[in-house]
Structure formats: C-alpha cells, structure tokens
Amino acid sequence: MLRDDNEIREQKPLALAQKGLRWPVVLASLPLFGMVAAFGIAPDTSLKDVPVQQVVLDLELPEISRTATTDITFWRQERIQRGDTVAALLSRFEVNSRDTANFLHDARNAKAMHQLVPGRVVHAQTTAAGELLLLRYFPGGNEQFLMEKTDGAFKLSEQPVELEAHIQMKSGVINSSLFAATDSAGVPDNVTTQIVDIFASDIDFHRDLHKGDRFTVVYESLHNDGEPAKAGRVLAVEFVNQGTSYQAVYFQADDGSSGYYAPDGKNLRKAFLRSPLEFSRISSGFSSARFHPVLQTWRAHKGVDYAAPTGTRVKATANGTVVFADWQNGYGNVVILQHQGQYTTAYGHLSAFAKGLRKGQRVNQNDVIGYVGATGMATGPHLHYEFRVSGVQRDPLRVAMPAAIPIAARNMTAFHESTKPLTVRLDMLRDTNLAFLD
C-alpha cells in the first residue's frame, strides 16, 4: 500500500508537465518542508541549490467607464456644530459651487434650514462630481425635512418619521436645585417638568425641597436612525422628599384613560394642583394682615403671590369652566374658573390670556390659561392666585384637597401586570447612583 502511495506522488508532477503546466518550485517548497518529519531528510542536506522561479501573470482588467463613476452616488452625514451655517455644512459635504448657490436660494424661506440644532445630524446624497441630490435633516419632533433636487431646483417637503422608544433610567441627589440635579444626571428638562407635574399635588417644589432629597426616574427616549430625538413620557418615578418616598407609575386603561398612580392603584392626581406655575418662588403668602406695597397700608392678603418672569405660563389647577377672563380692578387681567361643587380659583395680574380663551370655555387641569404679568395693582411681574370655597378665599397651601378617582376594580389586574416591571426597575435603582447611566 505504501508503494502505491509513492507511485501516485511521483506521477503528479509528471502529469502536470505533460499538460504543459509549469510547476513553480517556490510553491512546491511548502509541501517539501512539510514532509521532512515523514521522510527524515538529513539535517546537513543543502537546499541553497534548489532553483526558485518567479511566475508573473498578466491579468486583463476591465476598462472603467468615466461616465460610470459620475453616476455613483454617496450618502454622507455631518453633525451640526455650534455656530454652523447651511453653507458651512454644504462645504463639508463637498457640494459644488453651483448647487450650493441654488440650494441657498431655494432654501431661503425654509425655517428648518435657519434653525440648525447643534448635535443633530444632517444627511446628504451627492455624486462624485459634487452634485447635491438630497439633503435630509431631523431637528426633533415628529417630522423630518427633505430638500430634494427636482428639475434642477431644490424643493422642501416634510415627512413623518418613525421614532423608536428606548428605556432610560437615571437617578440623582438634590444638592442645590432640582434642575441642577437632573442636569448633572443627564435628565432632559422635559422629563424634569413631568416629574414636577406628577408630584405637584404631594410636593411643593417651590419650598419643600431639601439637600439630600433623591430621585429615580424611568422614561422613554425616542430615537431616529439611532440618534436621540427627544425625551418621551415618564414611565415610573420615585422621589424621596425629607425622608418620605413618593412613587408613581404610568398606566393606560383599555378605555383610553391614563394617568399616574401609586403602586397600589391610588390616583396621584388630586382634584387640584398645589401651584399653578411649574417653577417660581412665593413672594407673598396667604395672610390676614400684610403691608400692601401699592396702597401703602395694612390689609389682608387672601391669596398666594408667585414671583416669576413676565410671560411664564399659568396653568389651571383643576378641570373647570371659565366664568371670567377680563380686566377687574386691582387684579388687572384675571381669569376665574368654576370647578365642581363649591370651588373656584382666580389668577390675577396676567400679562395676557391664552389664545382663544373665552367665557364659558371648558379647561382641563394643566391647560395654559394665561401668562404672568404685572397688570393691575402690582409692583412687579408675579401671579396672584386665589383658592375659594363657597366664595371665601382659603390658603391653597394648607387646605385639604379632594382626591381623584383611583384605578377601577375591573382594571386592577391589568394595572398590576402593566406596572410590575416598572416598580421592579425602581426597586433596583433605589440604592444605586445611576446619574451617568445611558
């Protein structure tokens, strides 16, 4: 059997030679050394006389058409830098001067092209010759802007985008202010505002915050093409205020109703918010005797004044009906809302009313009804807010607010199934600092 194998090895080179094929020794040397151990070549055998032949083959390459290269298109992307202009972006995209001039002319009235957001990504389709075919820009929101070349001109169109939801988890500690803490934790302002709104009936963020208070939040982050587009809804949040823990989870029932609830199903939305402003400071509280800065006399102050910049949004503290929206003596521009039963609220010194607000209109809790101003008897911009029970002013910071309706019994099973994963996340993060978790 060994004899047959040797005969086969000897016949292969001969067969190749008979076919006219050349057997380069430089290639054959590899199996030759591979057989040293098998055939026991003597260590002193000289290999320097083994002939080595270099084989060079001419390969015919296909001709490359010049017109073919000009038809190739490229997709490029550039991240907007602070101070960038459209012209600067087109230059980095290597767009030729003719298309740059045409684009700037055709896009002169496109607001999106004049509101470049640093950090956002712009995509462009160009040719090898620098011709711009399409430019796509997503500034945020739910639409992307396309500038597409058609018949030599660039035309703007807006198209909806499909945003992908990613779950984000962040936590932090209050050292100075809530916004400073959320900024340090990388939490978007929109999420911070939602946290304030969720706990507005239980925590007065104007005066109740203390150093060492903690928060943990789980929220949606909406992405487009892998890039963060905007913050979405808060799904779960815990806020520890002066040692007391407040938890909230989001739930939407089959009938479409939704809201934030405690893990046991209790509705966190009271019938009335504690404050009609998202953020401000109390400049004057409810008092039976206060020195009036305009009248220069002592008199009762039957409301709460919130100092805030002119134009700050004023929200309805509960669902109700507009019974007055006009000028009224020292109140200046004032809105009065009638709520269920014996409750009314008043919002004075407004700089302006919300667009379209009128007597008889229904408003919902958190709807914007006007803007902070200094109309009437006011020495500076602030909101004068009154909470009235049967026409008598009561201190809104002390009066017991009626509770809202909890989860219906028929929805409790679905509620627990939906919110259990959210409470698990809060429990997991409670003792962990995830300020820099992405």
Q: Which pLDDT score, from 0 to 100, does residue 398 have? A: 73
Buried residues in 384-409 as b, exposed as e (16+ CB within 10 A): bbbbbeeeebbebeeeebeebebbee
Can you give the pLDDT at residue 59? Answer: 67
CATH no. of 281-394: 2.70.70.10
DSSP string of 87-147, one letter each residue: HHHHHHTT--HHHHHHHHHHTTT-HHHH-PPTT-EEEEEEETT--EEEEEE--STTEEEEE
CB 103, CB 147: distance < 8 Å: yes
Give domain 72-160's CATH number out of 1.10.150.20, 3.50.50.60, 3.10.450.350, 1.10.260.40: 3.10.450.350
Mean pLDDT estimate for the chain: 79
pLDDT in tens, 24-70: 434 434 443 344 344 445 555 555 565 666 767 766 666 655 555 55
Q: Do the first three CATH levels of 72-160 and 163-270+403-438 match, i.e. the same topology?
A: yes
Q: Which two tokens stand for residue 161?
A: 């985008």
Altogether, the residues listed in the chain come to a count of: 438
**What does the domain layout of the chain look like in residue ranges?**
72-160, 163-270+403-438, 281-394
pLDDT at position 49 is 61
pTM of the predicted protein model:
0.53
Q: What is the pLDDT of residue 182?
A: 92
Ordered mean pLDDT values, 10 residues apiece, the chain (438 residues): 44 43 41 40 56 68 56 85 90 92 88 81 90 86 82 85 84 90 90 89 81 93 75 93 93 83 87 77 47 47 84 92 94 94 93 95 92 90 91 82 79 92 84 48
Q: Which fold has domain 163-270+403-438?
A: Nuclear Transport Factor 2; Chain: A, (3.10.450)
As a whole number of angstroms, the distance between CA 426 and CA 218 comes to 8
pLDDT of the residue at 325: 96
Nearest to 253 by CA among 403, 364, 410, 421: 410
Q: How far apart are CA 370 and CA 353, in angstroms?
A: 4
CA dist 431 and 209 (Å) reads 20
Distance CA 412, CA 312 (A): 39
Question: What's 236's DSSP letter?
Answer: E
Tokens of 215: 């928060």
Reduce the DSSP state of residue 33 to 3 states and report it.
helix
User: Residues 320-345: pLDDT tens digits?
Assistant: 999 999 999 889 999 999 998 889 99
